[in-house]
Structure 1
């Protein structure tokens, strides 16, 4: 666990990830997400080879923009801070993957009116969540704990069934990292990845993308700027 003597005195103001160049961030907490989507689509289509007929590009461009705006709308419903999507247009393979970053606050024992069943520190939260996971006996999920950039972190992996009523036509494989925010009791950052693989959330592509996301999370760093 983190040494108390080296713990920061103030909460971080943000975070950094070493994002591959074919992935883009759409910020939702500030700025104009719709303008960001327009810029991303424009940039993506500058990479299309010369000679491709315009009448073929226009429908593709409109469909890409529609899908990104739909993803933005869904992310806003979940109070997401940032949405990350792959934008590699050259290949025939659709990764069917994305991840989001959000914040949640869990109850603590300190303070007037606090939940008496709450936990007092991130380690306690981890123990409680892991114990609850084992009690629930969720055979389709895997949960573990550790640290990310010196902060307590919990990782959960699961397969979620298709939900056509929520525009999720295929089952998906999801990996979530719940990371305690330093110097801010009860505040956690949730980084949630989702993929449908090549149509099966348990196929080889899904496995490779989960490994990629786990590797990406090793680059996570807090920032105080």
Structure 2
């Protein structure tokens, strides 16, 4: 297959219908989050007392807006969250999409270039995180070089992170734009432990989801 002459303008993922996307590249993310809450509670049966729904709705909106704020601080492009049919958002899992550029390196002649070898990319990722308790592998996603990183991130109560989490990141090189990488970062606390059966199942699900990833040029 011929190498693309221009970088893709987007991507596609085949997500289940109970996951919602919140775009972060515009100033409308907060309104999208509020619309998600409104739509969710519109499906609640009319015989449910309103005085019971109001505190739930306010808490749901608070949690969604907090997730949006966290993703914005990480300079993410999109945030994906699972929405249960009952209208409750399960913030025990999330996907954050962003972009990054890995450092360049110089050869003996002084010429600089983007790091593109999987081993060098893996080495960069290892050096960023200290190399402990990290599972790294390389391969391809929709024909592009990809590095998969999996690790357990300890709780950080001082930053509002109360529980350990299981993280799986896919770093995918952007065709036609050396040095630019697409990042899909999945996080889950499982059923309370990042190594429990639910966390294992969700990680397998995310790996399967990434097989549906496709670049788009339009």
User: TM over 0.5: same fold?
Assistant: yes
Change (3 A) 1:99 1:117: farther
User: Which residue of the partner structure matches residue 10 of structure 1?
Assistant: 6
User: Per-residue displacement from partner, 1:90-142 (whole Å, max 9, x unpaired)?
Assistant: 299946100100010123358xxxxx6965452x2x2113345399542x221
Counterpart Cα distance in 1 of 2:5 and 2:180:
15
Are the structure 2 counterparts of residues 118 and 71 from structure 1 closer, same or farther at C-alpha, using a change threshold of 3 Å?
farther
The alpha-carbon deviation at position 69 of structure 1 amounts to 0.5
TM value normalised by structure 2: 0.90
C-alpha distance in structure 1 between counterparts of 2:37 and 2:80, whole Å? 14
For the 8 Å contact 1:107–1:118, the answer to whether it is kept is no
Counterpart Cα distance in 1 of 2:96 and 2:180: 17
| Residue of 57, 64, 70 corresponding to 2:60 | 64
User: Does structure 1 retain, via aligned residues, the 8 Å contact 2:141–2:211?
Assistant: yes
Determine whether 1:169 maps to 2:165.
no
Structure 1 residue runs without a partner (length 5+): 111-115
Runs (5+) with no aligned partner, structure 2 = none
Number of positions where the alignment pairs a residue of Structure 1 with one of Structure 2? 213
Q: Distance in 2 between matches of 1:28 and 1:10?
A: 24
* Structure 1, 167-176 or 100-109: larger mean CA deviation: 100-109
Alignment-derived partner of residue 101 in structure 2: 105
TM-score by length of 1: 0.87
Cα distance between partner residues in 1 of 2:87 and 2:193:
19
- Matching residue within 70, 79, 85 for 1:83: 79
Q: Is the 8 A contact 1:96 1:197 kept in 2?
A: yes
- RMSD between aligned residues: 2.3
